[in-house]
Amino acid sequence: MTVPLCSIQRVAPVSRTDLEERERQFLAPYAQFSGNARGRIHREDPPTWRTQFQRDRDRVIHSRAFRRLEYKTQVFLNGTGDHLRTRLTHTMEVAAISRNIARALGLNEDLAETIALAHDLGHSPFGHTGEHRLNQLMKGQGGFEHNRQSLRVVEKLERKYPRFTGLNLSWEVREGLAKHDAEFDLPTEGPRFEYHQPCLEAQIANLSDEIAYYSHDLDDGLDHRLLDEKKLLAEVKVWAAAAGEVKRLFGVLPAESRRYYTIRQIIDQQVTDVVLTTLTHLQKAGVQTADDVRAWRKPLVSYSPDRRRVNLELRKYLYRNLYYNPVVAEPNGRAVRMLGEVFAAYLKRPEEMGRGARQQVGALGLHRAVCDYVASMTDRYVIQEHTRLFGLAIERI
């Protein structure tokens, strides 16, 4: 059927100002509106078809640091299994959970997602074992912590734009990175004012990280046969409750489906708990704006006390049975010994580093320039550099 031309209405493109107006119409009053963003370190003309936070999300996704996450360890060393999480797949899962919680609470999904996508840009190779080793190597030199390093990446280390270093992200995104699971500090550049908490979207990204890594580390541990469902049923209330609900809904399932739906149920229960608990906190607090949230003494996005208790039980179980398991810990230990040897070699012979890293020695000092360079590496590049520097065959780790 042919539609008469006279009946076709011309549709105008949706502009940034249209998108900002939609936020004002549909988001909660205490959401962080993109039209109220505090700006960037370096002034830029506003985007035409995107909000400020949508521009930030695109910059994060197109960064080199984001692409390198594909080859960085989550729990199991990168490359040890095709279905195991990497730092990149973990990041995408955190972003998805963040959007879901933000949507349920009437908050800014774009901002929550962007903070989640950027939260691990500064993570070291070889997961938290590598982070701990870099912090030891930087003792007396300012230390190393991956959240602060993520802020360094977006403010200073990415070099793509002709007029500034870093990604020149909005203040609110950098606020979320500064607060992410670390003692609170403001972004190192830009406007400064006193407050106690970051915006709700940043609090969501922080908690979504925990929801993602606990539930998905369970999945990877089961897939790698380091965890056992029967023991989980007996020892971990989070698992027992989710497994019971899956059995009630679906009866007896094949092992793979049973595990998948149990993990899914755990995530659903965690998200539901956070949404309902946070709504109660918001109602009691009576906050009306994003800055009211910042002025509040305690985080408003949180688990209920009961959920926090059972999550602590899950955390202890995972450390005991997965993170400290020799199958995980011993290869990670061998890998970080390589990292330490590569770090020491660069201190003695900085000319062995890449040209960009060498150029930063004068401005940053040798230790920080080496730390930035090593922290940016993927797991496999550390191993390749170790082989190049020491002339040894790549150890099977």
How do residues 190-248 score in pLDDT, each as one tens digit? Answer: 555 567 899 999 999 999 999 998 888 898 888 888 899 999 999 999 999 999 999 99
Per-residue pLDDT band for 86 (boundaries 50, 70, 90) equals confident
Per-residue pLDDT band for 181 (boundaries 50, 70, 90) equals very low
How do residues 92-123 score in pLDDT, each as one tens digit? Answer: 999 999 999 999 999 999 999 999 999 999 99
How do residues 10-47 score in pLDDT, each as one tens digit? Answer: 678 999 999 999 999 999 999 999 999 999 999 999 99
Give residue for tokens 């997602």: 113
> What is the arithmetic mean of pLDDT over 120-136?
93
Look up residue 168 and give its two tokens.
């020149």
* Model confidence, pTM: 0.91
* Residue 45 to residue 95: CA distance in whole angstroms: 27
* Residue 369 to residue 142: CA distance in whole angstroms: 12
pLDDT of residue 79: 55
How do residues 360-394 score in pLDDT, each as one tens digit? Answer: 999 999 999 999 999 999 999 999 999 999 986 55
Question: Is the per-residue pLDDT at 329 higher than 50?
Answer: yes
How do residues 251-276 score in pLDDT, each as one tens digit? Answer: 999 988 999 999 999 999 999 999 99
* Residue 94 to residue 83: CA distance in whole angstroms: 17
Look up residue 172 and give its two tokens.
């609110």
Three-state DSSP string of 254-279? CHHHHHHHHHHHHHHHHHHHHHHHHH
Question: Is the per-residue pLDDT at 9 higher than 80?
Answer: no
Range 81-120 burial, b when 16+ CB lie within 10 A, else e: eeebbbbbbbbbbbbebbbbbbebbbbbbbbbbbbbbbbb
Higher pLDDT, 329 or 111: 111
pLDDT of residue 220: 82
Q: Do residues 309 and 315 make contact, with C-beta atoms less than 8 angstroms apart?
A: no
Could you tell me which CATH number the domain at 49-390 has?
A: 1.10.3210.10
pLDDT of residue 180: 46
Give residue for tokens 């062995």: 352
Dihedral of CA atoms 175, 282, 308, 205 in degrees, nearest 10, equals -30
The residues spanned by each domain of the chain are 49-390
How do residues 274-297 score in pLDDT, each as one tens digit? Answer: 999 999 999 999 999 999 999 999
